[in-house]
């Protein structure tokens, strides 16, 4: 199983769309690309780039995502995502021998290229810890709200 890194997902109802449009200062149909790495990066069709801190997107994060504690898809054989990778590359976590054989085969057959970058694990751990902390706090708050 291949899983994605995931910090959160957003409510794209009319309120959510309006909120995000306000944050990027443009209509959403002007978005060319979105990248969620260390922050929420939006590239517009006119070339402008907006960086939005993840904390600023709190109002439109889905409720279930606020309570989620798994950043790197811990049960996947292979996890992939943008954190720590250069443009055009993807960070890959390989969790077992079968997955490693698959990756090795893809490299040897020229489908993917492997490069090494320093500090990637630290960045992933930082994001994972940030998400775990938020999820635990949200779950504790919800439990307290239910038991009162």
Tell me whether residue 117 or residue 143 sits nearer to ligand SF4 (CB atom).
143
Neighbouring-strand partners of residue 10: 61
Nearer to ligand SF4, 6 or 54 (CB): 6
Q: Minimum CB separation from ligand SF4 for residue 58, in Å?
A: 13
| Cβ-defined contacts of 114-121 (< 8 Å, 24+) | 115/86, 115/89, 117/84, 117/85, 117/86, 119/84, 120/83, 120/84, 120/85, 120/91, 121/84
- Name the region of 47 (left: φ>0; alpha: ψ -120 to 50; beta: rest): left
Decide whether 8 or 127 has the Cβ nearer to ligand SF4.
8
Nearest distance from C-beta of residue 80 to ligand SF4, angstroms: 14
Distance of CA 143 to the CA centre of its chain: 26
Shorter beta-carbon distance to ligand SF4: residue 34 or 44: 34
Q: Which residues bind ligand SF4 (CB under 6 A)?
A: 6, 8-9, 64-65, 68
Strands (E), 10-138: 31-36, 40-44, 49-52, 78-81, 91-94
Min separation Cβ 68 and ligand SF4, Å = 3
3-state secondary structure (DSSP) of residue 100: helix
Shortest Cβ contact with ligand SF4: which residue?
68
CB of 19 to ligand SF4, least distance (A): 18
Q: Which is nearer to ligand SF4, 44 or 132 (CB)?
A: 132
Q: How far is the CB of 57 from ligand SF4 (least distance, A)?
A: 12
């Amino acid at each position: 199983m291949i899983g994605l890194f995931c910090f959160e997902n957003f409510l794209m109802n009319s309120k959510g769309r309006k909120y995000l449009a306000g944050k990027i200062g443009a209509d959403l149909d002007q978005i060319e690309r979105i990248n969620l790495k260390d922050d929420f990066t939006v590239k517009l069709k006119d070339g402008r780039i907006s960086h939005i801190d993840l904390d600023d997107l709190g109002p439109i994060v889905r409720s279930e995502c606020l309570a989620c504690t798994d950043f790197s898809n811990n049960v996947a054989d292979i996890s992939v995502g943008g954190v720590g990778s250069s443009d055009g590359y993807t960070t890959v976590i390989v969790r077992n021998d079968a997955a490693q054989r698959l990756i090795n085969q893809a490299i040897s057959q020229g489908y993917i290229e492997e490069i090494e970058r320093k500090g990637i694990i630290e960045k992933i751990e930082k994001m994972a810890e940030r998400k775990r902390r938020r999820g635990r706090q949200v779950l504790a708050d919800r439990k307290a709200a239910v038991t009162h």
